[in-house]
Each structure stands twice: as C-alpha cells, then as structure tokens.
Amino acid sequence: MLEISEAIKAGAIVATETGGFHARNTKIALAQRMIAFTWSDGNSPEKGGTLDTWKKCKGLRVHVGLKSIVRTEMVEAAGKGQPEVVCKRKRDEEKEEKTTQKRSCL
C-alpha cells in the first residue's frame, strides 16, 4: 500500500471500475499501445483477462511470451524436501551451470 500511495503522490492515475474485470479491460484496451507479458506461446495471449483486453485493443499490440525469456525448473529446497521454483534468464544459461540465487516465479 505504501508503494501505491507513493505512486499516487508522484502523479500516477488511479482508476477503479465497478463493472468487474471485463469493464476494466475495456478501458485498458483504449490504449494506443499494448505490451502483454504472459506464459502463452505464440504471438498473442491464449486465455483470460489479458486475451479479453487484447481482443478489444485496436492499437499497436506486442505479445512477449515469458517462456522465451525465463526458464523455470523445480529443485528441492535444501533440507526442506519441498520443491522450489528457480527462475533463470535464458541469456544466463550459457554462463552458469545452475543458478545460485533462488527467486519465486509469479
């Protein structure tokens, strides 16, 4: 909440929509340019709210498939026996045998 408050103080525009996510997506789709980052393959989102917005947008649209820039793998967390997701950028694959910094993937 602090970051949102700071963004508003810095001039961010906050909009709320009572008509649900489809109504919100309709407003977002009015943008002249859209960049969509999804886990979908191909040139467009495959499902969900991002696809809804994508279809409504008449402006320039660019889809970035996250699989093309991030590799995920399941590894066992040390001593816990629980799987943990490790993210690694594709360009780093050649530099490292395995990642040493564990981060959660969203």
Tell me, what DSSP letter sits at residue 21? H
pTM across the whole model: 0.56
* Cα-Cα-Cα-Cα dihedral sign, residues 27, 49, 105, 92: negative
Residue 105 binned pLDDT confidence (cut-offs 50, 70, 90): very low
Using the predicted structure, report yes or no on whether residue 68 has a pLDDT greater than 70: yes
Q: 22: pLDDT confidence band, cut at 50, 70 and 90?
A: confident
- pLDDT value at residue 74: 53
pLDDT of 48 reads 92
Instruction: Please give the DSSP secondary-structure letter assigned to residue 25.
Output: H
